[in-house]
Chains A and B, each alone.
Chain A
Amino acid sequence: MSGRAILAATILATLAVLAATAAPASAHHVGAYVPRDNAVTTNFKQVKFSVQAKKYDVALRLFDEGPLRAEMRAQAATLPPGLEDGTRAALAAGDGPEVERSLMIFFAALARDLALEADRQLARPDATPETRVATGGKFLEAIWRYYNLVDFAVATRDNKASVAVRLAFDEAEAFVKPAAGGAAPADPAGMRVPLRRIAQALSTLIDASSTTPPSTTPRRNS
């Protein structure tokens, strides 16, 4: 075999070795998952951006035909009375602040209900600490996904509620994170206290916001 052939073989073999040894570095790479919006949060963003662009006719159509309104109907029992009709009326009237207030109440209610359900599931006596950590983490993720959408609106109207929810959320998150420095992991049942605080803060916010007269201009209370 000629020198050229051996050189070609060397290059081929080296490339193959590099390719094969690079694979374990990405350790059987199985893809990264980026959480996506669900139908309700997607529709919320569509409505919100249409309202911000003052396209109330578009926002009304998106609300009428979208899953946001369907979800409001489905959750009507736990929402302040008339929230769905109020939201629709505000959209029809082109009242941006009122639309924002209604949607804030809706998502705060969704987050509150999740916090209450999380508290209930963490209280189950048959749940192991591992299950509690896993369940708690998933609930916190779901709570944040909804609350994060309206946190700015909450902070604009009731800064104390916003801070209370964030602090309680941070506290609850500490129970699902691995203990640092070899410290013993905290009892995940302890997460119930901040979860109840989240639910309480959001309930107070919903009650206060539901009694606010329509079209009241929000102002920062900090």
Chain B
Amino acid sequence: MTEPDAPTWRVPPRWVLLVAVLSIVAAEVGGGSMARYKVELTRWAREGMLARPGVHGLVGVRDVDERILDEALVKFDAGLRLFHMHAEGMGLVIIATSMVAATVIRHAAARRAIIALLTTGGAGYPVGYLVWSALIPSHGLERAKTLAEWLIWVPFGSATIVALWCLAGTVAWSMLARRRA
């Protein structure tokens, strides 16, 4: 027997699911690669930093420079780890939130826009950590962070936040409309 008004969850569009799954796959591949190629990645980053002493403020004294290189390498590694963690998490967030949007939002254009924002924002944001890590050897810690922020974190993060607030507002609106009816 079925309830007369049983919940009808709608599956988000296939491309959204594909992007979410790809994000999770990228996270797993990234996590596996950073463990498998840890030495090679560290060597690459270190050589990149040593090739640009001015960028990293290296002074040519081992006792001073080792500390600078160590900090940069720790942050380089942290960026890879954060990419792994965020890409995994945001993949799931994309699936959950786009399913809510597909189910709750009646207006087709609004639904498409919010789902598009959720998907692109959610999938793009974690890439910022990867970009940050990749830019550290050539641009230094702070410059790399600024670039990742303005190229990736701010636009994609903002897209996700805007879409989530719109989604929350829409859900609240449908609750109110339902009460009135």
Contact = CB atoms under 8 A, between A and B. Distances in A.
A38 B79 contact: no
A114 B64 contact: yes
A23 B157 contact: yes
- Of A21, A141, A142, the most chain B CB neighbours within 10 A belong to A142
A119 B154 CA distance: 42
Given A4-B7, A5-B9, A9-B104, A114 B63 contact: yes
Given A16-B167, A38-B66, A9 B160 contact: no
A2 B70 CA distance: 56
Contacts of A29: 82
Interface in B81-108: 82, 93, 96-97, 100, 103-104
Nearest to A36: B70
Contacts of B160: 20
B78 interface: yes
A182 interface: no
A28 B75 contact: no
Interface string A86-129: 00000000000000000000000010001001000100000000
A21 B103 CA distance: 23
B68 interface: yes
A16 B163 CA distance: 10
A3 B178 contact: yes
Nearest to A146: B63
B168 A13 contact: yes
Contact of B175 (A6, A24, A31, A131): A6
Interface residues of B, number: 46
B61 interface: yes
B172 interface: yes
Interface in A1-32: 1-6, 8-10, 12-14, 16-17, 19-21, 23-24, 28-31
B168 A14 contact: yes
A131 B175 CA distance: 59
B57 interface: yes
B63 A17 contact: no
Specify the main secondary structure of chain B where it touches its partner. helix
A35 B70 contact: yes
B100 A12 contact: yes
Given A1-B103, A36-B70, A139 B175 contact: no
B6 A139 contact: no
B71 A20 contact: no
A134 interface: yes
A138 B82 contact: no
Contact of A31 (B57, B59, B63, B82): B82
Given A13-B100, A21-B164, A142-B63, 10 more contacts: A3-B178, A5-B9, A9-B104, A9-B171, A13-B164, A16-B97, A20-B161, A24-B157, A114-B61, A114-B64
Interface of B: 3, 5-9, 57, 59, 61, 63-64, 66-68, 70-71, 74-75, 78-79, 82, 93, 96-97, 100, 103-104, 128-129, 132, 145, 148-149, 153, 157, 160-161, 164-165, 167-168, 171-172, 174-175, 178
13 contacts: A10-B172, A13-B100, A16-B96, A16-B168, A20-B161, A24-B157, A28-B149, A35-B70, A38-B66, A38-B67, A114-B61, A141-B64, A146-B63
